[in-house]
Amino acid sequence: MDGSTAPDRFISREKVEDHLQPVQDDFAINDEATLFASPLPIVGERKTTTRKEVWSWYVYYVGNSGLGPFNFAISAWQNLLYLAGWDPAYPKGTVPCGDGACNLIAFGSERSVNSIVLITNGLSFAFQAVLFLIMGSFADYGVIRPHITTAFTVLAWAVSFAWLGVEDPSKWQAGTALYILGLIGYQGALTFWTAAFPGLARDLPEIKDSEEKLARGDTDRKSHDRLDMLARNRLANVSFLVCSLGELVVLAILAGVLEGVINDDPDSNTKALSIVCAYSAGIWIIATLQNEVVSYDTKMLNYIGLFWAVQKRYTIRTKTMLLFNAFWILLLAAWGCVGITQTRFGFHNAWEFWVYQAFYGIAVCPWYAISQAMISEVIPRGKEVRKAGETMFLFFALFSIIGKTSSFIGPFVSSAIIDDSGNTNMPFTFLLGLGVVSVGILSCVDVEKSRKECRKYLEDEAVRVYGMDSAEVIVVGSQSMEMEKAGRSGGNIEENEKGDVIA
């Protein structure tokens, strides 16, 4: 490929020849600095993450915590289903649903509310998988990247406010549509918000400084790897911590709303939940449209998160933390299996759901922070770097598609199990078995080997896409590091005091 035929988005061979450093394949894979660098030519100026950027990223998570479209919307929707349904123990439509089973005509046949919920969730995740496959590809071109997150955010806002118009049980179909759209908006915004994380982490001042030291030979790969791993986990855990603290305030206000609106009239539940969904959208807007974020020091706040404090104290690898967290998730599925043959335990009592909420917040929720840190560690170096305002979203969208695939298959299978067995706890056997297999596969992931495979992937791309010879693969060494450093010093970038670490 030469410069006369290469598409505009490719860099011509002539433009990079001045910076080419011939390397051998074995050297490229084993050299410490090379393993943590990208062989692809850097376009534009690589940015440095500022404190304001990090805190803007944190605060957005408070708004996009999912309280409206993810948590309260399903309650509002299920409330509509129960009010519109009937007790299957009596002739169709004659007796309203009570404390027992509840049926409704949906998706072409009479189904239980549990089955309707599972199928709807499956459809929602199927739609998300298709959208992310398309959006993930578009995210790598032009200036559409930030607009994708904005579009999903606006969709979630609109759906949350639309719940104010769905209070009558006869509108349960509209509620179903709003629930699906709300999930798509929330999950889409969350996915592409998360995709900004690897770039923010790798462009932290302390990480870029360590990269330069690694290239000069002033530090070793183990020290840089430790710093890189802890920086990624710090951002992931602090984001979750800030979100949790923000949610406490929002939930306290929501509790007051529910207390003030709900009375003995069943219809007031629907009205209250609709108001709650709209209010959560308002909080999201405030969190998103904020112009200034107070940049106070959060080094002490880091220790509030138990998982992060332990990980930092003992320098526990991300994969180890993820496996530990996965154990508690499997424990939940195992507890659900306990309720298959008896009703004393196994998610059959109100107190169990109170305990579940506490257990979920302490032992399960850290999964979201740790898993995104784990994903960022196996993304090819350079694909997460922000260059000339760019952020590579495709890899996170790809991982999200895989997650959504299991998310829409799981509800369909669970719905079929419930319909066949008549036992709402029976799907826990499927979930437990699937979880055990997944944890087994996760335990076999070799992060060290992944780095070498990612490096090989980037070298192949350099040859295939940029038309470079195998001996001309760019190594981001001392020369390119110095060039980048010089470019940063000449730019208008917020500098941090020496030794200061962005929270």
In a domain? residue 241: yes
pLDDT at 193: 81
Residue 188 or residue 381, greater confidence: 188
In a domain? residue 438: yes
Specify the number of domains making up the chain: 1
pLDDT at 395: 65
pLDDT at 40: 57
The mean pLDDT of 166-195, rounded to a whole number, is 87
pLDDT at 318: 83
- Least Cα distance to 367 among 404, 321, 398 occurs for 321
In a domain? residue 165: yes
Q: What are phi and psi of 111, to 5 degrees?
A: -135, 160
Residue with tokens 């539940």: 269
In a domain? residue 56: yes
The mean pLDDT of 217-234, rounded to a whole number, is 82
Helix 51-63 vs helix 221-261: angle between axes, to the nearest 10 degrees? 40
* Cα 377 from Cα 493, distance rounded (Å): 26
pLDDT tens readout for residues 415-461: 788 878 888 888 899 889 988 998 898 888 888 888 788 778 777 77
Confirm if 264 and 137 have CB atoms less than 8 A apart. Answer: no
Residue 323 or residue 472, greater confidence: 323
- The whole-model pTM stands at 0.63
In a domain? residue 495: no
Query: In a 10 Å sphere around its CB, with 0-12 CB exposed, 13-18 middle and 19+ buried, how is residue 260 labelled?
Result: exposed
pLDDT tens readout for residues 298-346: 333 333 356 656 766 667 888 888 898 889 889 988 999 999 998 888 8
pLDDT at 448: 80
CA angle 263, 352, 62 (to 5 degrees): 70
Confirm if 429 and 437 have CB atoms less than 8 A apart. Answer: no
pLDDT at 5: 38
The mean pLDDT of 114-123, rounded to a whole number, is 84
In a domain? residue 221: yes
Name the percent of the chain lying above pLDDT 90.
Answer: 6
In a domain? residue 202: yes
Domain holding 194, by residue range, is: 13-489
- Least Cα distance to 22 among 468, 465, 452 occurs for 468
pLDDT tens readout for residues 149-162: 888 888 988 888 88
In a domain? residue 499: no
Q: Mean pLDDT, the chain, as a whole number?
A: 71
Confirm if 364 and 447 have CB atoms less than 8 A apart. Answer: no
pLDDT beyond 60 at 282: no
Q: How confident is the model at residue 398 (pLDDT cuts 50, 70, 90)?
A: low
Q: What is the CATH number of the domain that holds 334?
A: 1.20.1250
